[in-house]
Structure 1
Amino acid sequence: MAAADTEMYRKEPSVPLRSSSAALYNNLSVLRAGGRPLTCFGAVHGPSLSLVTADGLGFTHRQLPAKEAGTTLSTSLLTQAAWCVLPSRVLLVLTSQKGIQMYESDGSVMVYWHALDVGEHPPAQAVFARGIAAAGGHFICVGTSSGSVLVFDIPPKGTNITVSEVLEEHRAAITDIASELGQAPAGAGDVVTADDAGTLCVWSSGEEFTLLSKILAFGCSCSSVKLWQGIVAAGYGNGQIRLYEAASGVLRAEVNAHARWIYALDLAPQTGKLLSGAEDSFVHVWKLSRNPDTDDVEIEHCHAECVTDTQVCGARFCDPEGLSFAVTGYDLSEIFRYGRA
C-alpha cells in the first residue's frame, strides 16, 4: 500500500435529519440531480426513511414509512434504502422485514411491492431484504436474509416490474450488492454480491446472470462491496479492506483500514477513489489504481477524517469525481458533509 496524504477535505454545513440514523450497514444514500444544484439524501431510522433535498438555499424534508402493498406498517423495520439509477429511469428502493418497495425517485409514488416469502426461511431465522443495486441497464438486484438475490426486470416506465431470476449461490444473509454500469473490462463481470459469512460472488449480467467467480469467506463478515474497472473492493468486520480481481477472485491487496467494524464503502467511478467508514469514528479516502506496466492493483491513502464520538454507519461520495462526501452516524440527527479544501 502506498501512503500519501495528497487530498484535503474540510467540513461543510451539515444536513439536518428529522430522525436519527440507525446502526445499519451503508445507511446513507445520495442522489445528485443531473445538471441542477440539487442533492437528495436518505437515511433509515426504524420504520421510516428520512429524505432530505438540498438545493443550495435550504432543505426540504419528507418521511417515507415502511409499507406493505400500500398499507403503512409501523411494526416493519426498514433495513436499507438506495436510489437505483438506470439509463431510462431512477427508482428509490426500500428494503424491510416484510419485503421490497420501489418508488419514483422523489418517493411520491410506489410503483412496485414485493413480499418476502417467509416459508423459505428456517423458523428461528430473521426475515429481511438487504443489499440493493441497479445492474445491466434494466435490472435491479436485491438480496435477502436467506442468501438469495432477486433480479427485477425494470421497464422504461410504468409498474410492470417482474422477478426475472433468483440467484442462489449464497448460504448466508446478503449484506451488500454493487455493480459497474458500462465500465467493466471484458470478462470481468459487472455485479458483485456479499454475505454475512464473508463470501463474495461476481456475476456477469445479461438476459441471464452468469457466475464468474466465487471468493470464499475467511472467517469474517463482509459488510460492504464496490466494483471498479474489474476490481472488487470489500470491507470487513475486522476493519480490513481487501481488493480482488473480479474475473478470477484472486486477492490483489489488503489493508488494515480501520480499528473496528467497517459499515460503509463507496466509490467515485471517474477517479477510482474509495471511501470507507467504520465503528471507530473514522472515515478514510483511498485511491485505487492499476499499474500499467505490471498490472498490479494499488491502494493509496489520501485522507482521514475523525467524526468524533460517532459510530459511522453511512458514507457516500456526492459526485462521481469524489470531490465531496457525506457521512451518517448511529443516533445522529444530521448528515455531515465534507468538500475539497
Structure 2
Amino acid sequence: SVSPQATWCELPSRVLLVLTSQRGVQMYDADGSTMVFWHALDVPELPAAHSVFARGIAAAGGRFICVGTSFGAVLVFDIPPKGTNVTLSEVLEQHRDPITDIAAEQGQAPDGAGDMVTADDSGTLCLWSSGEEFTLLGKIPGSGCTCSSVALWNGIVAAGYGNGQIRLWEAASGRIRAQVSAHARWIYALDLAPLTGKLLSGAEDSFVHVWKLSRNPDTDDIEVQHCHAECVTDTQVCGARFCDPAGDTFAVTGYDLSEILCYGPA
C-alpha cells in the first residue's frame, strides 16, 4: 500500500496542511484543527490490479497547490486567501506513469527555467511554469529507473533515484550537469535548504548525507560537494527534512521507527 503523505504548503496568504492517501486529497488549516477541503480521486478506467492514490504535493505560483496521482495526472488547486472555496483549476496530463514527487522553486529561478518540477515512476521529469495556466517548458525522459524525490533550487533540479543516484539537471535546458552515486540503495527523501543550497538525502541503506550545491561563477557549472554523513543504525530511512532554512539541523525517520531523530551542530 502507499503511505499517506503530509506537507505544509506555504502560500503568501496562508499555510495549509495537505494530506494525500489512497482516498484522495485533504487540506486543513495549519494546526490541523479545521478541514478546509476534501477531494476524492476520480478513477479513470484502470485494470483492477492498479491502485489509485495521490502522491507528491507542492505549493506553486503563489496561490496554487499541486498534487500528483497514480494515473500520472497532476491536479492544480486554486487556493483562496481565506475560506474554503478551493477549486480544481487545471489537470496537467504529461506523465504516463504514477507521479512520485513534485517540487517548487525554492530560490530564484533563472530566465526560462520555470518554477516547478514533477517526477514519475519511470524517471521522467517535467518542468513547468506556473500561472493562470501552467505551461510545460520541457521534459527530461526517464531511463527506466524510478525518480523517487525531486528538489528545485536556483534553476537546478536535484533528483534522487531508486538506484541510489542523485542527478543534477539544468532546469532551463534539461541538460544533465552532475551525477553522484550517493547511496547503495533506494533514495526515499531529498530536501533543500533554500538559504545555502544544502541538499539532504536519505535512503534505504540507512545513511543520510548532506551535500552543498553551488554554481561556479566563472563557468556557470553546477558543483556538488559532500558535507556530512550520518548512519541511522539498522534503519531504512524513509523521511528526511531540514529543520531550518540554512540546513544546519535536520530530522530523520525510518520504516518501523516510531520516533523522529533530530541532528544538529554539536
TM-score range, shorter chain: over 0.9
Q: CA deviation at 1:158?
A: 0.3
Q: Which residue is equivalent to 1:273?
A: 198
Q: Do residues 160 (structure 1) and 93 (structure 2) align? A: no
Q: Can you give the 5+ residue segments of structure 2 that lack an aligned partner in the other structure?
A: none
Give yes or no for the alignment of 1:204 onto 2:133.
no
Amino acid at match of 1:237: G
Determine whether 1:242 maps to 2:185.
Answer: no
| Partner Cα distance (1:319, 1:121) in 2 | 42
Match for residue 58 of structure 1? none
Query: Equivalences for 1:74-113 in 2 at 5 Å?
Result: 78-113=3-38
1:339 aligned partner: 264
Map of 2:57 onto structure 1: 132
Residues 219-258 of structure 1: pairs in structure 2 closer than 5 A: 219-258=144-183
Question: How far 1:182 moved relative to its partner?
Answer: 6.3
Higher relative contact order (CA 8 A, sep 6+): 1
Contact 1:212 1:248 in 2 (8 A): no
Instruction: Mark the runs of 5 or more structure 1 residues left unpaired by the alignment.
Output: 1-45, 47-76
TM-score (structure 1 length as normaliser): 0.76
* SS class of match (2:44): helix
C-alpha displacement of 1:236? 0.1
- The aligned amino acid for 1:207 is E
- Which residue of the partner structure matches residue 72 of structure 1? none
1:136·1:181 contact (CA, 8 Å) conserved in 2? no
Deviation at 1:184, TM superposition (A): 1.3
> Cα distance, 1:187 vs. partner?
1.2
Contact 2:107 2:194 in 1 (8 A): no
Structure of greater Rg = 1
8 Å contact 2:151–2:190 — kept in the other structure? yes
1:261 partnered with 2:183: no
Cα distance between partner residues in 2 of 1:142 and 1:200: 15
Aligned residues: 266
User: Would the aligned equivalents of 1:312 and 1:329 in 2 still touch at CA under 8 Å?
Assistant: yes
Measure, in 2, the Cα distance between the counterparts of 1:120 and 1:158: 34
How far apart, CA to CA, are the structure 1 residues paired with 2:88 and 2:107? 22
Encode CA deviations 1:249-285: one digit per residue, 9 max, x unaligned: 1000000000000000000001000000000000000
Percent identity among equivalent residues? 80
What stretches of structure 1 move > 4 A for 4+ residues in a row?
Answer: none
Distance in 1 of aligned mates of 2:136 and 2:107: 18
Distance in 2, Cα, partners of 1:195 & 1:79: 17
Please state if 1:292 is matched with 2:217. yes
Tell me the TM-score normalised to structure 2 length. Answer: 0.98
